[in-house]
Amino acid sequence: MTEFRNFINGQWVATGKTFDNRDPVDNRLIGQVHEAGAAEVDAAVAAARAALSGPWAGLKAQQRAELLHAVADGIDKRFDDFVDAEIADTGKPYGLASHLDIPRGAANFKIFADLIRNVPNESFEMDTPDHGHALNYAVRVPRGVIGVICPWNLPLLLMTWKVGPALACGNTVVVKPSEDTPGTATLLGEVMNQAGVPPGVYNVIHGFGPDSAGELLTRHPEVDGITFTGETRTGEAIMQAAARGVRPVSFELGGKNPGIVFADADFDKAVAGIARAAFDNTGQVCLGTERVYVQRPIFERFVAALGERARAYRLGRPRDPGVDLGPLISLRHREKVLRYYQYARDDGATVVAGGGVPDMPGALAEGAWVQPTVWTGLPESSRVIREEIFGPCCHIAPFDTEEEAVVLANATPYGLAATVWTSNVGTAHRLGKALNVGICWVNSWFLRDLRTAFGGARQSGIGREGGVHSLEFYTELRNVCVKL
Ligand code: NAD
């Protein structure tokens, strides 16, 4: 049984109040998490505030970059511990945790360490009314104490995607990981101490959202900015909290992402790509595809091929050989996903594959398993097509023209990501412009260059992070005007 304490000012802090941490594979109790109350949140924010004027503030960008590389090396050195912690919390397959989550966790520190050493700057020389000159130049200063609120689907990856740039820019952070995934954020505290990151620069508080650590953090007046990844509805609540004191927010929110497959696409690659987009990480990826539109000439063949793939996935324990998919994050989340499986039946869907709970052997029967599922035949008005499910499922509908595909794809309040499959370069570029999303993949999915802008349009987010774009949120840009 693991005990997860809060990490405040470089120290491990227990509280009188704990909640259970369960393995979603078999719902076994595996840990106790110390929930932070007002006193611990105050202490964490105070530590982060104090660190802003301690040794951390005196470091040059180059020295911060070296420390962040030491953190990345620390993750690499304890790679197996991080993989174990991520797997224990999420039940995801070993291959996924060891090839995606943990390596990206380390990479997120390296990329922003390298970026901060090479930040471009602007200057403008101007004529003054008295026939003289002045020089304007920009200085980037840290924003201050950053509140970091994270979801459970890619815990270390998404958390370090924020902590990496925040620290590279000289801020301090208070992280509130998801209540379902306390492991890797806690472990990172040990790495921070070993790497020599000064106390108070990285703090972790555990707990839930409303009336708990999440809300206490976002409402805290000493937090200078809030970066959040999670559901759009939660984003609305956090934005209201941030309004007090006019604190800026950076939001990566939900999606209902379209996949569009043209008849001229490489068929096998399109099927494999859409399968990854719909089912990887058991469908719990914000960029995942839950609405697939396939051009009519290949529609029937595509439905049959994707259905076959969905049925072929092997579900099982994270380290069992050949396992492709783990469970959902929790029984609570499974209830939500199964509600949508029921709505699909109620709305008259044809169930091409899955549609329910799989028969799992022994103790696994207690876990949060669902079948990878493919539907056709639903009206576009169905909740299954309009709302984010966040499970291993997708609906496939036919389309005839490019214009029709764009209208269907854009008919949602979300605008996170799209994946388009075609061999026509013109179609690819036209859709790249016409789709109202933050990121459009062509003949690919989840191919990430960390220098590029990442974020969502409309209700999928506010702002962009990645590469130099992260500087917009994690620094204040100050103009200095010198009369010469
Ligand atoms: P969630 O919004 O339920 O929770 C996210 C975090 O917010 C958790 O740590 C939670 O405790 C906290 N929280 C909840 N209510 C809060 C409140 N009122 N005040 C402060 N904190 C609060 O999301 P989730 O279920 O953990 O994650 C799944 C969601 O995240 C999906 O909607 C998915 O699309 C989204 N997501 C988006 C991206 C992206 O990059 N756009 C990436 C991953 C996940």
* Residue 27 backbone phi and psi in degrees, to 5: 60, 20
- List the one residue out of 269, 338, 353 whose CA is nearest residue 307: 353
| Ligand 1 centroid from CA 150, angstroms | 6
Encoded amino acid at 117, one letter: R
**172-192 tens-digit pLDDT:** 999 999 999 999 999 999 999
Pocket test for ligand 1, best of 229, 247, 439 (most atoms within 8 A of CB): 229
**321-379 tens-digit pLDDT:** 999 999 999 999 999 999 999 999 999 999 999 999 999 999 999 999 999 999 999 99
| Ligand 1 centroid from CA 388, angstroms | 13
How big is the CA angle at 388 (ends 152 and 468), to the nearest 5 degrees? 60
Write the residue with the smallest CA distance to atom 12 of ligand 1: 209
**The predicted structure's pLDDT at residue 44:** 98
Q: Is the pTM of this model over 0.95?
A: yes
- List the one residue out of 317, 329, 308, 305 whose CA is nearest residue 390: 329
Q: Which atom of ligand 1 is nearest to the CA of 333?
A: 25
Local confidence band at 249 (pLDDT 50, 70, 90 cut-offs):
very high
Question: For the chain, what percent of residues have pLDDT higher than 70?
Answer: 100
Longest dimension (CA), the chain: 85
What is the average pLDDT value for the chain, to the nearest integer? 98
| Ligand 1 centroid from CA 252, angstroms | 9
DSSP letter (8 states) at residue 18: E
**CA 109 – CA 123 distance, rounded (Å):** 29
Which amino acids bring their CB within 6 angstroms of ligand 1? 149-153, 158, 176, 178-179, 208-210, 214-215, 218, 229-231, 234, 237-238, 252-255, 286, 388, 390, 416, 456, 460-461
Q: Which atom of ligand 1 is nearest to the CA of 456?
A: 41
**The predicted structure's pLDDT at residue 16:** 87
252 is catalytic: yes
**CA 62 – CA 483 distance, rounded (Å):** 30
List the catalytic residue out of 35, 86, 215, 252. Answer: 252
**The predicted structure's pLDDT at residue 120:** 85
| Ligand 1 centroid from CA 285, angstroms | 12
**CA 403 – CA 401 distance, rounded (Å):** 5
**422-441 tens-digit pLDDT:** 999 999 999 999 999 999 99
| Ligand 1 centroid from CA 187, angstroms | 21
